[in-house]
Chain A
Amino acid sequence: MNRSWLLWLPLAVVAFLGGWFIYGLVAPKDDLVHSAMVGKALPEFALPPATTGVEGLSNGDMKDGTPRLLNIFASWCIPCKAEAPQLDALKKAGAEIDAIAIRDKPEDVAAFLSEFGNPYRRIGADSEMAIQLKLGSSGVPETYVIGGDGTILYQHIGDIREEHVPMLLEKLRSAR
């Protein structure tokens, strides 16, 4: 029984891993992560209103032919407060914005809107983060560009800074 080739197996493993590591070092590194949901249709959802005096949000509401922004926010989230002026600026520039409030209470959402203004057309309440996860969003705030047919076109992770406003407007314009 000649199994001497088996003895060379560890060496082969080392050579294989070594080649792999060398490739890993040499190959150009691109750390930019593209969202897996971009290009896909919105998941099915129908959320109740997040507070009194606003309308809830379903995926059907976003399929009426108008491209929109979908802002994921929460009243307890401090960067969300920081991005409020930018959302306001986007609205003034003609963007329609829908929103989903994450793990929030109606009275907190109402207080948030009265303090920082309400740029939103509709606000759905996602109290268990179920829709947030289906959207492929991992935190607040995040903002999606949604095409008129309900397709996810772009995902912006983190708060919207001033320099992001023209970029988002451009994405909305090209979606028309």
Chain B
Amino acid sequence: MMAEAGLAALWLAAAMALLQLAGGLTLLRGGAGQLTPLIKPAAIVQGALCVFSFFALMYLFTITDLSVLLVASNSHIDKPMIFKLAGTWGNHEGSMLLWVTILSVSGAAIALIEKRIDARTLQVTLAVQAFIALGFFAFLLFSSNPFERLTPAPAQGAGLNPLLQDIGLAFHPPTLYFGYVGLSVAFSFAVAAMLTRQVGPAFARAMRPWVLGAWIFLTLGITAGSYWAYYELGWGGWWFWDPVENASLMPWLAATALLHSVSVLATRNALRAWTIMLALVAFAMSMAGTFLVRSGILTSVHAFAVDPERGSFILALMLVYTSLAFIIFALRIGTVKQGEPFQLLSREGGIVANNIFLSVILAVVLIGTLYPLAAEAMGDKISVGPPYFNKTTAPIALLLMLALLLGPMLRWRRDDIKRHKYWLVGFFAIILWSGVALWKFAPDIGIFPMLGLAFALALAVAAWVPLKGRKLLRTPLPVFGMVIAHFGLAVSVFGMASESGFSKETLTALAPGESAKVAGWQVKLADVNPVVGDNWVAIEGEIVARTGGRSFVLRPQSRQFFQPEMQTSEAALLTRWNGQLYAVIAQPDENGDGRWQVRLWWKPFVSFIWLGGVLVALGGLIALLGRMFRRAKKPAKNRWSEA
């Protein structure tokens, strides 16, 4: 019964989207239209119906209703409750339903709270949102119905990919979806602003919180995904330049650039066409990312998500949305007037530098990700690995950090470099001092880790400079947000550089009672025991790690899942203030001699990578709260509100 209700709600929601689209079209054709007043209510009803539909599916997973095909093939009666819930979106149909639900809810939110742009642009924005949603509704209703029944119902259910039976799953895909959908809202705003010729500060202010929100989620999603790969895959690395990781990084790069350029548009009414362009690219990148993950045209660790047929559907949607948007761009952007002028050395100039560097990194990552595909078309099989990406992105990222030392200090419109000479000398001294110190004491860590550490230290200081001379209590929250996000970047880069420069690794086979050494740690395999979980069995190593007279116990596992059958390794991590000890144990072969393969890493300051990522997202959150709070306090005092 619940399944049928959910499906019916989905059909009704699609009808609401169609209504919005029709209303938007009549509006653009010049008619006042009887449909126009219906756009906003339709958006709100659509959001409510989708939420109902999603919770209906979640309910079916909670009670493990095995007469529903999706539940039967992705869940199991013995699965822990949290993974039953996560199972709702841990599969293709459910994740598409989640996507369209978030999309519709944001449409409803725009309809309910957005007051800053004119009514026409708002209505067209909702129509564009509805147009995007219709593609996904068609996908769900015609080819991936999540509520399909299965007769006869099986007794147990098939289970969920064991790699995904991890608490991280409960957050990772939904987080990315919030990010992607936020970018779709920015996309809709941009298309609508072009169509109604309202590209200006008011539009930028309306779009900014969505970009900011999307960017916070993408930052968290990437940070969490990186940490998941780090402890679940058991390879000891935190970023593999895997196509799927790149697919999440590219929208983030575009969104980061957009976040900065939209500020220029909102504050200074400059960079109009460029901001529109970035809004379109950011959403195109998130669609391309989804496509690359789902289609399987690139081989990656996320192979569980692959299905070529669905891939082609997403590809078709992506091509329709982005080509239409870029056709509108080509036809309309010429009519967007030149924005306010500014000098090279100014806040705007700094943000342009940020945008250029980010765009170059984006292009480099895109080319590297797609290159194997091109090579295959020419009959050559290659994979582009970390050496390419590290060598190409690291120098640009370092340049970006250099620009970031000065950029936030600059004044809008024009500035004088002499005003900042003491700071510049100070930063240069930090870089030189730490560079020389590293050169002397750790000459063999490589040039990028060395520069990364030096620049990170300088940035850790420079990030706080914008607060200088301000009364802290009267400083706007977005400034604090910026400072914290930039400081978080410094923290993260410090972790990355330290991890890649100073990690120590030992691979050994130990019998219980034997010891190994890694980077000042005396590590003893005390015992190996079998352990049993809900739907897996494992061998668990008891590893005693000693350093400086203190000892700690680590318990890495090698798990054997039975439904479906699969082995995973659960790394054990020991976090100290100055780094992590990372231990992995492997199942022995049957012909073994009682020794176990143990892999140990000492990774100095590795946790700074994710700590920094969280700080960056926190900065974004503070800025977002600041914008929302300020808006609530004094809504009409916008100098540009009717530009």
Which B residues, 219 to 265, have Cβ-Cβ distances below 8 Å to chain A? none
Say yes or no: is A175 at the interface (Cβ < 8 Å to chain B): no
- B308 touching A25 by the CB < 8 A rule? yes
- B323 touching A15 by the CB < 8 A rule? yes
Note all chain A residues with C-beta closer than 8 A to B617.
Answer: none
Q: How far, in angstroms, from A65 to B216 measured CA to CA in the complex?
A: 65
CB distance from A23 to the nearest CB of B (A): 6
User: Which of B322, B373, B377, B507 contacts A14 (CB under 8 A)?
Assistant: B322
Say yes or no: is B26 at the interface (Cβ < 8 Å to chain A): no
Q: How many A-B residue pairs have CB under 8 A?
A: 80
Q: How large is the interface on B (under 10, 10 to 19, 20 to 34, 35 or more residues)?
A: 35 or more
- A10 touching B329 by the CB < 8 A rule? yes
Say yes or no: is B168 at the interface (Cβ < 8 Å to chain A): no
User: Which of A54-62, A75-83, A143-151, A160-168 is found at the contact surface with chain B?
Assistant: A75-83
Note all chain A residues with C-beta closer than 8 A to B593.
Answer: 81, 115
Say yes or no: is B591 at the interface (Cβ < 8 Å to chain A): yes
Note all chain A residues with C-beta closer than 8 A to B508.
Answer: 76
Q: How far, in angstroms, from A76 to B593 measured CA to CA in the complex?
A: 11
Note all chain A residues with C-beta closer than 8 A to B376.
Answer: 24, 27
User: Which of A8, A15, A34, A78 contacts B330 (CB under 8 A)?
Assistant: A8
Note all chain B residues with C-beta closer than 8 A to A1.
Answer: none
Q: Could you tell me the dominant secondary structure of chain B's interface residues?
A: helix
Closest residue on chain A to residue B330 by CB atoms: A7
- A22 touching B315 by the CB < 8 A rule? yes
Q: How far, in angstroms, from A22 to B413 measured CA to CA in the complex?
A: 45
Given contacts A76-B507, A78-B588, A82-B590, contact A20 B329 (CB under 8 A): no
CB distance from A20 to the nearest CB of B (A): 7
- B334 touching A10 by the CB < 8 A rule? no
Note all chain B residues with C-beta closer than 8 A to A34.
Answer: 381
- B288 touching A78 by the CB < 8 A rule? no
- A78 touching B597 by the CB < 8 A rule? yes
Taken residue by residue from 362 to 405, chain B's Cβ proximity to chain A (1 for < 8 Å, 0 otherwise) reads as: 00000000100110110001000000000000000000000000
Taken residue by residue from 4 to 26, chain A's Cβ proximity to chain B (1 for < 8 Å, 0 otherwise) reads as: 10011011001101101111110
- A7 touching B334 by the CB < 8 A rule? yes
CB distance from A19 to the nearest CB of B (A): 9
Note all chain A residues with C-beta closer than 8 A to B297.
Answer: 21, 24-25
Say yes or no: is B284 at the interface (Cβ < 8 Å to chain A): yes
Q: How far, in angstroms, from A34 to B590 measured CA to CA in the complex?
A: 30
Q: How far, in angstroms, from A15 to B324 measured CA to CA in the complex?
A: 11
Say yes or no: is B35 at the interface (Cβ < 8 Å to chain A): no
Note all chain A residues with C-beta closer than 8 A to B315.
Answer: 18, 21-22, 25
Say yes or no: is B327 at the interface (Cβ < 8 Å to chain A): yes
Say yes or no: is A33 at the interface (Cβ < 8 Å to chain B): yes
Given contacts A18-B319, A20-B373, contact A82 B589 (CB under 8 A): yes
Note all chain A residues with C-beta closer than 8 A to B299.
Answer: 31
Could you show 28 A-B contacts with beta carbons less than 8 Å apart?
A7-B329, A7-B333, A10-B280, A10-B330, A11-B326, A14-B284, A14-B322, A14-B323, A14-B326, A15-B323, A17-B288, A17-B370, A18-B319, A20-B377, A21-B291, A22-B312, A23-B377, A24-B295, A24-B373, A24-B376, A31-B299, A34-B381, A76-B507, A78-B509, A78-B588, A78-B589, A81-B593, A82-B591
10 interchain residue pairs of minimum CB distance: A24-B297, A11-B326, A78-B589, A7-B330, A76-B509, A18-B319, A10-B326, A8-B330, A82-B589, A14-B322
A interface list, Cβ under 8 A from B? 4, 7-8, 10-11, 14-15, 17-18, 20-25, 27, 30-31, 33-34, 76, 78-79, 81-82, 84, 103, 115
